[in-house]
Structure 1
């Protein structure tokens, strides 16, 4: 199957906001991609780009590489080993299954075992980014599993974004993703604190963040979040309840591994407070609203253009 190695036939399960964009990248790169989504209508626009739409995950069993990007651990179980799952076809099984969902280590291990029983390689490959990050080509991927399987599909993974890192065997990529998201929460809370401090002292948020972003402390992330903090646009990229779930997982892992995480624990409480105050649907950058309230400051949108660093020219 030399040709499959050169240009593997791909299956994609789950075309939500992220899955849709990533499947489109593989299509745009010229791959033969077949797609399953529970709500078929969400996958249909990919047909215009050349995708085949299938009715069941099992219809993807003959593919060289199948990606899964679903919402929860139970969904991953359903599309892999449940009725009509991609690992249940009597006549075929994918060469490699790559899961890019954010699921528990336990579920990941169960699916890995089920895949191995069918002779299918399994890679845990959680991603960092959102649809705009995908569009800018800046998605990053942490991958764990067999090194040999990783080496086989790395060229395909490289099409998804700018960074693919092999982090070790088995399920360790799950821990990498959780650690990343805990840092995301802690950094955002800290950013909210210093921005409100500057504002209460008479500095506009736009000016403060422009200075910060140009300093050594600025980052792709602080620049990317600046428009939300300046203009109070909390259109969700990642919500507070999802962040709380990742803090729970991170602090649970910390207990198991005997790693004290006082900053993460304090931030988890602040995230819980924000949820209690009703910040459920907005982006988690709304942490700045709670910080302002606790500081006796009323924030107003500054309504000025702020570069998020992700536009194509950047």
Structure 2
């Protein structure tokens, strides 16, 4: 596909780097900013232009972003040297945010950008860095339909598994919050039943092999099985970020009068992981590891000490050639 627009990118974290890399591999020149410049520099060899501040991307037609929190997004958009800060006459036509942030924050950002003449597309994604590289990332999108039609070809390169347009405003944010609520419930229950089977005498790898082959198996259970079997807590998503999203889900439920007792119980179960972390040599570092480490918290409460089983498990996330 020949690029019809100039593209910018903000955020070179675990997700942002491989997402921007897909655009570059597809032949789209991309200008990139990241708070820590060194994290972006490897992409320069693949055709990226690295800039010094978010405001240097103001001349791009479309700018993508993926950052940790709504406050981070506000800062890179409106803060000192921000993308649309000050009296600059040059501003992107469309801003596409792939972060997971709250509905109210996103709404306020949308309103502010509209006053500045910019369209805002909410495009949170489902998956992790390995999913991006394997072409199995998906995205849910909301915002002005005409703006979506312009960014959709580029987003489809990034989220090769599928791009779902769900309507105007912040509807994509509620979809992403609901998605991550389900993520929390599933990982908590998967940890519980895996420990249940292990305590009865079933090796984790054998139990998860059965689950993955059953009607209850999923892309998620398959790509988490290697972590759960071999205690590989390489970070894809932290417990703190999952807790944030469960809180966002419970707030939305209160606002919309939807009972969510299973979500509430999951949130409290996750909280116990933060207490269990104090038993580690470096609690802060432990809490920066993957959220699937809560398997150890369930095991601890069950009187089990886990050991890696050293059985490689297929993840289904082979990288595209």
- When the two structures are superposed, what TM-score results if normalisation uses the length of structure 2? 0.92
Distance 2:287 2:154 in 1: 36
The structural deviation recorded for 1:186 is 0.6
Q: Summarize the Cα distance change of 1:48–1:6 in structure 2 as closer, same or farther, 3 Å threshold.
A: closer
Distance 1:18 1:7 in 2: 24
Match for residue 123 of structure 2?
125
Secondary structure of residue in 2 paired with 1:159: helix
Match for residue 155 of structure 2?
157
The structural deviation recorded for 1:282 is 2.4
Whether 2:46 is the aligned partner of 1:46: answer no
Match for residue 56 of structure 1?
53
Distance 1:7 1:160 in 2: 16
Whether 2:21 is the aligned partner of 1:24: answer yes
Whether 2:241 is the aligned partner of 1:242: answer yes
Match for residue 217 of structure 2?
218
Match for residue 148 of structure 1?
146
Question: Quick one: which of 269, 290, 293 aligns to 1:286?
Answer: 293
Distance 1:50 1:281 in 2: 31
Distance 2:162 2:220 in 1: 15
CA offsets, 1:89-139, max 9 Å, x none? 522111110011122222212221222122211101111111111111111
Distance 1:107 1:276 in 2: 29
Whether 2:179 is the aligned partner of 1:172: answer no
Distance 1:300 1:32 in 2: 46
Checking the alignment, whether the CA contact within 8 Å between 1:35 and 1:54 is kept in structure 2 is yes
Checking the alignment, whether the CA contact within 8 Å between 1:213 and 1:222 is kept in structure 2 is yes
Question: Quick one: which of 40, 65, 68 aligns to 1:68?
Answer: 65
The structural deviation recorded for 1:184 is 0.6
Secondary structure of residue in 1 paired with 2:164: strand
Match for residue 308 of structure 1?
315
Question: Quick one: which of 81, 85, 92 aligns to 2:82?
Answer: 85
Distance 2:319 2:41 in 1: 27
Secondary structure of residue in 1 paired with 2:132: helix
Whether 2:136 is the aligned partner of 1:138: answer yes
Secondary structure of residue in 2 paired with 1:114: helix
Checking the alignment, whether the CA contact within 8 Å between 2:68 and 2:99 is kept in structure 1 is yes
Distance 1:313 1:144 in 2: 28
Instruction: Kindly tell me the number of residue pairs found equivalent between the two proteins.
Output: 311
Distance 1:291 1:83 in 2: 45
Whether 2:235 is the aligned partner of 1:228: answer no
The structural deviation recorded for 1:270 is 0.6
Whether 2:16 is the aligned partner of 1:9: answer no
The structural deviation recorded for 1:48 is 0.9
Match for residue 258 of structure 1?
257
Match for residue 105 of structure 2?
107
Structure 1 range deviating more: 249-258 or 196-205: 196-205
- When the two structures are superposed, what TM-score results if normalisation uses the length of structure 1? 0.94
The structural deviation recorded for 1:6 is 4.8
The structural deviation recorded for 1:29 is 0.9
Structure 2, unaligned stretches of length 5 or more?
278-285
Checking the alignment, whether the CA contact within 8 Å between 2:3 and 2:28 is kept in structure 1 is no
Checking the alignment, whether the CA contact within 8 Å between 2:18 and 2:133 is kept in structure 1 is yes
Distance 2:196 2:28 in 1: 50
